[in-house]
């Protein structure tokens, strides 16, 4: 298996795992009470009911809990610039539903520009615009640009939701009575995007190593 194919598998599988983590449990009660399980998609809304958020706290932490599906889709779209038009069309078909997931529920769709939903709506718009750009002119985008952007997206996915969860852990412990269990979802998201990041940087490591070997090679003298 070539290094390029290994990178493709790492990026695609890691991005999918990172996005999937959003739909899995992030918080569970030590006694296993199903009613006290919080999925990743629940955390952004959970903190709206806290006094701390109403007083202006946890703003960015709440925003970062909405990142995994958007960043997973962006990672797949950036990788799709290496594909033909059929592959890019498939990615476009994936991106549109993922963007809709980020928007308010149907009953509150008219509030998409409100402060409560502005960050989510901005993410959805970025996903749709990126999807259209990739579908229309993906192969013409510089590979160095898409690689750098993909690495930044994967790094953000691996660190920002985890940082937000770490920031609110004490609040969650108080809510659960002193103890919580970190669910599988946060590990899917963190490790998944970490795998995707490895996929993005792997070809660059090979190019840097090859360039270093060429510059350090000693020329052979012929008599």
Task: Note the pLDDT tens digit of each residue in 121-140.
Answer: 888 888 888 888 888 877 78
Contacts of residue 219, Cβ cutoff 8 Å, sequence gap at least 6: none
Mean pLDDT value across the chain: 82
Whose CA is closest to 130, among 150, 116, 115? 150
Residue 217 placed within a domain? no
Q: What is the pLDDT of residue 123?
A: 87
Residue 157 placed within a domain? yes
Domain holding 166, by residue range, is 3-211
Q: What is the pTM of this model?
A: 0.84
pLDDT mean over 194-214: 75
Q: What is the pLDDT of residue 94?
A: 79
Compute the distance between CA of residue 134 and CA of residue 99 in angstroms, rounded to an integer.
15
Q: What is the pLDDT of residues 61-95, one digit of tens each?
A: 888 999 999 999 999 999 988 888 888 888 778 77
Q: Is 221 a residue whose pLDDT tops 60?
A: no
Residue 182 φ/ψ region, left for φ over 0, alpha for ψ in the -120 to 50 degree band, beta for the rest: beta
Q: What is the pLDDT of residue 132?
A: 84
Residue 69 placed within a domain? yes
Compute the distance between CA of residue 69 and CA of residue 76 in angstroms, rounded to an integer.
11
Residue 110 placed within a domain? yes
Q: What is the pLDDT of residue 139?
A: 78
The more confident residue out of 223 and 15 is: 15
Q: What is the pLDDT of residue 223?
A: 44
Residue 73 placed within a domain? yes
Query: Per the structure, how many domains does the chain have?
Result: 1
Residue 219 placed within a domain? no
């Amino acid at each position: 298996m070539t290094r390029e194919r290994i990178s493709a598998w790492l990026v695609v599988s890691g991005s999918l795992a990172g996005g999937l983590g959003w739909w899995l449990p992030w918080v569970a009660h030590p006694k296993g009470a199903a009613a006290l399980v919080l999925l990743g998609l629940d955390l952004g809304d959970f903190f709206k009911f806290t006094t701390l958020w109403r007083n202006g706290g946890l703003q960015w932490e709440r925003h970062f809990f909405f990142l995994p599906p958007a960043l997973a889709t962006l990672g797949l779209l950036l990788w799709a610039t290496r594909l033909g038009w059929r592959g890019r069309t498939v990615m476009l078909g994936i991106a549109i539903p993922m963007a809709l997931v980020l928007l308010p529920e149907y009953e509150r769709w008219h509030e998409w520009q409100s402060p409560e939903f502005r960050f989510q709506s901005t993410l959805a718009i970025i996903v749709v615009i990126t999807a259209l750009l990739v579908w229309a002119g993906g192969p013409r985008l510089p590979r160095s640009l898409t690689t750098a952007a993909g690495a930044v997206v994967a790094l953000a996915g691996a660190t920002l939701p985890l940082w937000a969860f770490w920031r609110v852990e004490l609040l969650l412990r108080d809510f659960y009575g002193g103890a919580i269990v970190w669910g599988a979802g946060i590990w899917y998201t963190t490790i998944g995007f970490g795998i995707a990041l490895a996929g993005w940087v792997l070809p660059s490591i090979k190019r840097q190593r090859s360039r270093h070997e060429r510059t350090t090679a000693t020329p052979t003298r012929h008599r």
